[in-house]
Amino acid sequence: MTDHKFVYEFSEGDASMRNLLGGKGANLAEMTGLGMPVPQGFTITTEACTQYYLDGEVINDAIKAEVMTYITKLEEITGKKFGDPANPLLVSVRSGSRASMPGMMDTILNLGMNDTVVEAFAEKTNNPRFAYDSYRRFIQMYSDVVMEVGKSYFEELIDEMKEARGVKQDVELTAEDLKELAAEFKAQYKAKIGSDFPSDPVEQLFGAIKAVFRSWDNPRAVYYRRMNDIPGDWGTAVNVQSMVFGNMGDTSGTGVAFSRNPATGDPGLYGEFLMNAQGEDVVAGIRTPETIDQLKTENPAVYDQFVEIVSKLENHYADMQDMEFTIEEGKLFMLQTRNGKRTAAAAFKIACDLVDEGKITKEKAVSMIDPKQIDALLHPQFDAAKLAAAQPIGKGLPASPGAATGKVSFTAEDAAARGKAGEPVILVRLETTPEDIEGMHYAKGILTARGGMTSHAAVVARGMGTCCVSGLGEVSFAADGKSFSLGGKTFTENDWVSLDGSTGNVYGEEIDTVPAEVGGYFGRVIEWADEFRTMKVRTNADTPADARQAREFGAEGIGLCRTEHMFFEADRIAAIREMIVSKTVEQREAALAKLLPMQRGDFEGIYEAMEGLPVTVRLLDPPLHEFLPTDEDDINALAAEMKLEVAELKEIIASLHEFNPMMGHRGCRLDVTYPEIGAMQTRAIIEAAINVQKRHPEWKVVPEIMIPLVGEVKELAFVKKIVTDTANAIIAEAGVELDYLVGTMIEIPRAAITADEIATEAQFFSFGTNDLTQMTFGFSRDDAGKFLDAYYQTKIYESDPFARLDQNGVGKLVKTAVDLGKSTRPDIKLGICGEHGGDPSSIEFCQQVGLNYVSCSPFRVPIARLAAAQAALKAK
């Protein structure tokens, strides 16, 4: 360990060392290498952070010694000395991980100050106000960040001081006031911590380094990582950099600038600066910063130098840069550069412009966009200014993206009625069931107290493109179901709520939304993506309308049509319920006879929408708890329709109750017990295909019939025989030629590990990773939301396995099944239709294991097209 290098001077690194030095450190090194004016310093590596955690959250002696060697080097470079009143070295200590995590971790400025240094500094700079201001800022930051004293105590002291002096602004406080404030801050520190504020710069330094390492694991950083797929074991680097001061008087200043407009993508320098200020003043909003072009008049020489640096940096990194700079007594210093965060619209425009300007290739353009950002283009979003003024009152699962605002509605009927009348409503439910579909359709957004990322509400909302926040357990309903409380407030149907389905945030007020807008730049990039993609992108669609929507987004077929979902609508659900509660074959056949024409009609609509592209239709798979009627009116109506006594029907329903419906009488088990179900569905699938093929001889309609929830090859063979016997008879009778395929879902672990046997009967596999995740983890899809938070907090899991494929566990089953399946059927067609098919990191995994296609809900199709292209480019 002793010969391991944990610290690098800026002049020793470069941009390629991002993993080791973090983004900020690598870029400071790169700028140094490019000869740009960078205050010198060094970077303590991400490996040192990992070592810190391995050592039980201590900085070991070897690392400490190495840091001290580099402090000595920095003293030599700058000609200043740590703690030397005559010529003090003051440094900033900042975090910087591999991936940019803006604002998530900690920063400390002006480190090295103490009572003697500040005196000397005041004299040396001939600016006591500046010296004491720097000192009190340091005490405040150190106490807050390193010792976790809490900002508010110090802010109160500032407020008291301002009141005593009869002034309103911090800048109106005098040098004497600030000196007094520094003393009060130190007293406050002692009162809270029980010891004196450290005056030794070395002690200060290691306190600060430790705080930065520790901030890697603060709750907001952990949450940010989960949202952005950043692994917890990357760690953060620490940058120690000699301070330059923007608050040294009127020839000093500080600012932030982007090389292009981060909101629109428009070319041209964009940014703000403040003279006589330190970095935090620009963001704090106490004084209004000036736009960057004002710098031209303020200091033309610095402005010209800055413009030149900006253009050099953008060309060098071939991407829009976000930069921080400071001017110290007329001299420009670059403190940071990084690829700038940008809105979705800007991301596409910048990518296209950079290609047009000849700065990047189309491959790079495709690779540089975060596919998750596409959501923001396809769904309404909150008005940014209104959102900034709002405070969330709760946070659930970000189940279906977009933003929605509306008045509360407690029942699906009410939501449908008010929605139809043009009123914006948010449907708030304990959980949703198929009965709620119409209300879900007319609601602007859906909020549920229960349910995970693959619960009914989540899957259906995503399919419809409706914003949904699920699993917000804190929503508590009044006994009469006419109000709920959240965040200490009670909501009735006259109250507004707003949902952010991309973050899971819930707001107890109206927040304006802006409509989705897909521009031409998006179209260009997505077409380039299609050139590089090797996997196909299909969609999960259950109705002709969804299928058409998916086609518009570029779907190349249907990977999953959940046939039970065709019956969600109010006028149809009765038919499927009749089938479920049938006691006799006759009753069931009567119900099936009602279902047949509806299914055939829908299949025709879907084949038409897909214009000859492949369509995978799955046989019925209705988990009983989602479909059995619970509402008294529904039960009465069903009894009347089936000519049963209500009591008798209730008995049947009670007898169908299951303890674990997700592992109950569903999937192909239904066809094993009631073969007539599979036969009816096959008839609908094949007859629809024959009809559409006749109408469109130019297409080749090849239905793919998929048998769900298979765990054993004999079970598959049994159901497959029902399918093929029925299909062949119909085709022969019609006297036509029609090809069709029969395959299965791999969604039970046993199917995955016996996939070589299964493949002898299956022409294709489609990985149902929702159930496969549920059954591999033994986590209920509907209930996991309740306890997964505890798993994130305890770092047992970093992300929701229902949203992001667990590559290490579930992924192994997928890989095993792929290999085994190919061993007995080398040309087997392989796809995925679980919700992971729309998740970029999971899509990359699908590319790696060699799937032929991914299938996802319509609104995720563009995301999947881009993610699949990125995965293919990565694999090159």
CA distances from 127 to 178, 243, 562, 618 (A): 12, 16, 73, 77
DSSP-assigned states of every residue in 809-865: THHHHHHHHHHHHHHH-TT-EEEE-SGGGG-HHHHHHHHHHT-SEEEE-GGGHHHHH
Spatial contact of 110 and 138, defined as CB atoms under 8 Å apart: yes
For ligand PEP, the closer of residues 281 and 621 by Cβ is 621
User: 479-483: long-range contacts at Cβ-Cβ below 8 A with a sequence spacing of 24 or more?
Assistant: 481/410, 481/411, 482/410
d(CA 798, CA 815) in angstroms, rounded, equals 22
Count of chain residues binding Mg ion (CB under 5 A): 3
Work out what residue 560 binds among Mg ion, ligand PEP, none; the CB cut-off runs from 5 to 8 Å by kind.
ligand PEP
d(CA 574, CA 652) in angstroms, rounded, equals 15
State the minimum distance, in angstroms, from the CB of residue 620 to Mg ion: 12
State the minimum distance, in angstroms, from the CB of residue 602 to ligand PEP: 17
Residue 451 interacts with ligand PEP (CB under 6 A): yes or no: no
Site residues for Mg ion, window 733-752 (CB under 5 A)? 747
For ligand PEP, the closer of residues 620 and 649 by Cβ is 620
Stretch that binds Mg ion, among 260-268, 308-316, 748-756, 764-772 (CB under 5 A): 764-772
Q: How are beta strands 615-618 and 392-395 bridged, if at all?
A: unpaired
The token pair at 2 is 């002793």
Work out what residue 604 binds among Mg ion, ligand PEP, none; the CB cut-off runs from 5 to 8 Å by kind.
none
d(CA 205, CA 240) in angstroms, rounded, equals 9
Does the annotation mark 456 as catalytic?
yes
Residue 13 interacts with ligand PEP (CB under 6 A): yes or no: no
Which one of residues 23, 112, 253, 768 is an interface residue with Mg ion (CB under 5 A)? 768
- Sign of the CA dihedral 149, 155, 156, 157? positive
Stretch that binds ligand PEP, among 37-45, 62-70, 750-758, 766-774 (CB under 6 A): 766-774
Which one of residues 133, 747, 761, 839 is an interface residue with ligand PEP (CB under 6 A)? 747
The token pair at 582 is 């049938």
Q: Which of 441, 456, 565, 625 is catalytic?
A: 456
The token pair at 166 is 């009869």
Residue 839 interacts with ligand PEP (CB under 6 A): yes or no: no
State the minimum distance, in angstroms, from the CB of residue 676 to ligand PEP: 22
Site string for Mg ion, 787-816 (x = CB under 5 A): ------------------------------
Residue 768 interacts with ligand PEP (CB under 6 A): yes or no: yes
Work out what residue 769 binds among Mg ion, ligand PEP, none; the CB cut-off runs from 5 to 8 Å by kind.
ligand PEP
Beta bridge pairs of residue 618: 562, 706
For ligand PEP, the closer of residues 453 and 828 by Cβ is 453
Which run of H or of E encompasses 335? strand 331-339
Spatial contact of 236 and 94, defined as CB atoms under 8 Å apart: no
Residue 562 interacts with ligand PEP (CB under 6 A): yes or no: yes
The token pair at 345 is 């619209």
Site residues for ligand PEP, window 618-647 (CB under 6 A)? 621
Residue 776 interacts with ligand PEP (CB under 6 A): yes or no: no
For Mg ion, the closer of residues 638 and 751 by Cβ is 751
Does the annotation mark 316 as catalytic?
no
Residue 811 interacts with ligand PEP (CB under 6 A): yes or no: no
CA distances from 253 to 37, 95, 272 (A): 15, 23, 11
For ligand PEP, the closer of residues 561 and 723 by Cβ is 561
For ligand PEP, the closer of residues 319 and 771 by Cβ is 771
Site residues for Mg ion, window 186-225 (CB under 5 A)? none
Q: How are beta strands 392-395 and 267-275 bridged, if at all?
A: unpaired
Burial of 526 (0-12, 13-18, 19+ CB in 10 A): buried
- Sign of the CA dihedral 829, 832, 837, 841? negative
Q: Which of 833, 836, 846, 856 is catalytic?
A: 833
The token pair at 286 is 């106490």
Residue 470 interacts with ligand PEP (CB under 6 A): yes or no: no
Residue 560 interacts with ligand PEP (CB under 6 A): yes or no: yes
Which one of residues 49, 684, 833, 871 is an interface residue with ligand PEP (CB under 6 A)? 833
For Mg ion, the closer of residues 259 and 769 by Cβ is 769
d(CA 784, CA 419) in angstroms, rounded, equals 31
Count of chain residues binding ligand PEP (CB under 6 A): 10
Catalytic (active-site) positions: 456, 833
Chain contacts with Mg ion (rule: CB under 5 A): 747, 768, 771
Chain contacts with ligand PEP (rule: CB under 6 A): 560, 562, 621, 747, 768-771, 833-834
